[in-house]
């Protein structure tokens, strides 16, 4: 997930459906409409396609990221190991996100937007290539021709020497990974040169999927703290100030999914976008992924809590769009997603008599698990 949680769902600024949103921009991100041109009016079909596509795209990284999160800790690569979020991390996150968001707001107010976005574009260019390559890797393993020889490579950085030597980076890859990297680089160059919405979405989906897969909540209580804190964060910065919307309109980086409302009129060159911030995907997504791993831990061969929370996400996002369409104002999606994603599974757990078991479920970081395993082996040797 990106540092700034652009949490509101926004359609085009010139659409009559809403007052706040993205500036009217062309595919290169430059101003496309001046005061003498009539405002764009989205057709019902274009609006329905845009919002439906955003919902569908949001569900993809949550579903597949959650599935991949179950097994991601088994990789030997340090870059594929999950990052565990504790209760303390969850409590601090809304404060850190608020400082980052307001800092970006001040930067855009003080410095030239063009140069800031140039630096951010290069930064996300590198991150996007790595994220997209990692996302593509499992699919490449399935379709890669068996008659092509596969060579193994290893990138290893260590610190110290002898018994004090410590691994900093240990990344193993092969020919298939190299092909993924080349394809991802092509997408990255396309994004840098054209800022096309399809390239933006490819990077955005990769960021979201990697976030859901690799960010692990250690328990349900931590998830409630994180979602609750960001619930307040999202509502305050969208309804209480213009900071969130200003940054969202100024920030040219693939940290949001976009879909044009004028696709039927202008085809792939469309420039009137509805958008959904990646924070509205990743934050509920890591909670949904946690519930899937809880389902797996029950060993009942069911996915009750995963499907319940997944349907709750669809309901919450649908509510966001409905309210936005009705009141014609940008909406903090977490305002609707958080109660749904927490409330639905809790009610199911109450009905099934598993609420205590749900809140007692605990995950440990790979480092702690390895330390515990070493301690157990040491005890066995002593005996």
Which residues are identified as catalytic? 234, 280
CA 353 to chain CA mean position, Å: 32
User: 208 with 282: CB under 8 angstroms?
Assistant: yes
Cα separation of 383 and 379, whole Å?
A: 6
What residue has token string 């601090």?
Answer: 92
Rg (CA), the chain: 22
* Percentage helix, strand, coil for the chain under 3-state DSSP, each rounded to 5: 65, 10, 25
Q: Which long-range contacts (CB under 8 A, 24 or more apart) does 77-81 make?
A: 77/170, 77/171, 77/172, 77/173, 78/167, 78/169, 78/170, 78/171, 79/134, 79/169, 79/171, 80/134, 80/214, 81/214, 81/366
Nearest Cα to Cα of residue 332 among 251, 248, 271: 248
CA-CA distance, 245 to 262, in Å (whole number)? Answer: 21
Q: Which are the contacts of 15, defined by CB distance < 8 A and separation ≥ 6?
A: 21, 40, 41, 42, 47, 261, 272, 274
CB 159 within 8 A of CB 168: yes
Residues 318, 211: contact at Cβ < 8 Å? no
CA 362/CA 352 separation, integer angstroms: 19
Tokens of 179: 């092909």
Secondary structure (3-state) at 184: helix
């Amino acid at each position: 997930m990106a540092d700034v949680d652009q949490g509101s769902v926004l359609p085009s600024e010139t659409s009559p459906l809403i007052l706040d949103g993205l500036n009217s921009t062309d595919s290169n991100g430059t101003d496309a409409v001046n005061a003498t041109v009539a405002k764009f009016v989205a057709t019902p079909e274009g609006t329905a396609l845009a919002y439906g596509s955003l919902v569908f795209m949001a569900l993809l990284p949550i579903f597949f990221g959650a599935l991949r999160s179950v097994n991601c800790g088994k990789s030997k690569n340090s870059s594929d190991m999950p990052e565990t979020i504790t209760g303390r991390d969850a409590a601090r996150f809304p404060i850190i996100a608020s400082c980052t968001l307001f800092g970006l707001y001040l930067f855009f107010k003080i410095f030239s937007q063009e140069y800031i976005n140039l630096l951010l574009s290069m930064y996300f260019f590198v991150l996007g290539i790595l994220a997209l390559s990692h996302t593509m890797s499992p699919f490449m393993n399935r379709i890669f021709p068996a008659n092509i020889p596969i060579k193994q490579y290893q990138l290893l950085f260590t610190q110290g020497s002898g018994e004090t030597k410590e691994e900093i980076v240990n990344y193993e890859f092969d020919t298939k990974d190299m092909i993924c990297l080349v394809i991802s680089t092509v997408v990255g160059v396309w994004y840098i040169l054209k800022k096309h919405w399809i390239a933006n979405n490819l990077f955005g989906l990769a960021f979201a999927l990697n976030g859901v897969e690799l960010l692990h909540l250690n328990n349900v209580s931590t998830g409630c703290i994180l979602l609750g804190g960001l619930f307040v964060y999202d509502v305050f910065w969208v309804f209480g100030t213009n900071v969130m919307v200003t940054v969202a309109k100024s920030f040219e980086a693939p940290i949001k999914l976009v879909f044009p409302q004028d696709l039927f009129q202008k085809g792939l060159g469309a420039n009137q976008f509805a958008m959904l911030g990646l924070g509205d995907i990743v934050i509920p997504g890591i909670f949904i992924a946690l519930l899937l791993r809880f389902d797996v831990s029950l060993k009942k061969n069911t996915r009750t809590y995963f499907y319940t929370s997944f349907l709750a996400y669809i309901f919450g996002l649908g509510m966001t769009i409905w309210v936005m369409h009705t009141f014609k104002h940008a909406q903090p999606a977490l305002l609707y997603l958080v109660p749904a994603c927490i409330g639905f599974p809790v009610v199911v757990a109450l009905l099934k008599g598993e609420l205590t078991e749900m809140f007692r479920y605990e995950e440990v970081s790979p480092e702690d698990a390895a330390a515990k395993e070493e301690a157990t082996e040491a005890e066995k040797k002593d005996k």
